[in-house]
Structure 1
Amino acid sequence: MSEKRVVGLLRQTEGFDVHQAFAEHARAIYGFALNSVRDAAMAEDCVQETFVRAWRSRGSYSSSRGSERSWLFAIARNVVVDEIRARARRPAPMTDDRIEVASAAVAEADAIDDRITLYSGLAQLSQEHRDVIVAVQLEGRTYQQLHERSGVPVATLRTRMYYGLKALRETLGEEPR
């Protein structure tokens, strides 16, 4: 049996094609990791580790339990959290400047955790809902500006914001279903 045939049969039986998943989701996961860890090399490592873990646990993936994207982002969130914790454990010599920076780092770690949670929740929304939330809530655009840029009526944008925020609250566990 040829190697291509074996690879094709493996992909069919596994239910998860790591090559296709990488092609479809690697950029989004890299953006998520970069926003979380604020270091390009570390973000690349996080993407690589995400797909290694996904490949190792491909037998546990089931499309009936959720989308491939959600599954990969859940793995990516765990990888990013592990990396941030590992970075925090690495000892560094303390100087007067480092003491001031360390106290600021504690506050930043809390902000990073919040940011990871937010990005993880946003990744699970539809593109239309995510675009409106990001533009209005995070970038500070008005509905009118967004209407002029996208051509979508203001009333539709407001409806997308309402349902998008509602879905985000449910995803983050802040609102009962």
Structure 2
Amino acid sequence: MAKDMNSVFKKIAEVIEQVESKRKKELIETAKATIQQDKVNLHLPSDDLNYDKAVVTKNMEDSNYIVAIPYKVQGKVKETSAATIVFDEDRDFLRYQELVVEQGADPDSVIYRYYVDNEEKASGTKTTSEPEVSTENWLGCMNSCLANQGLSNWAIGLFAALCAAACGTIILCTACIEGPLLVYSVQITNCLKDCGPNS
């Protein structure tokens, strides 16, 4: 799995570019309007989306814009819950994804449901008390770095499982690159610098 997540992280850093502030605001407003026009069928209330923490990126391979919006962490809703909405370079709506992560029956588990264009691609329960990954290898460095920036080990494992569900195997594909992991694209890029071969 380390090799696969290594590829995912590197691909995101290679093909995703943060957009400038004015364009970011415009695309967030376009995403809001798209949701309000019922083009996107969310499974959590749209009022619970945290637009203030939205991340807007451009995929340099296809020139699409991706607006990744986390849900507010409240009640049963856990971190990593997010919606991503994809627009073409003319800002026309293309597709969307949603990850719903909620507290499980016991405090050491979460229940997740992952949708691409309202079709459930994966669901299940994940333990949040998995042992720490060794910090001696690359993924261990990434885990430690991302954990310091608010992304836990179980979340990284969940993202790996979701990439597998979206793509058939854990290989790079558009669904994975456009997925809820993009909420953490700034942190991933920073951690790649810290954990990369030149660090």
Superposed pair shares fold, TM > 0.5: no
Q: Report the TM-score when normalising by structure 2.
A: 0.28
Structure (1/2) with the larger strand percentage: 2
Greater radius of gyration (CA):
1
Q: Report the TM-score when normalising by structure 1.
A: 0.31
Structure (1/2) with the larger helix percentage: 1
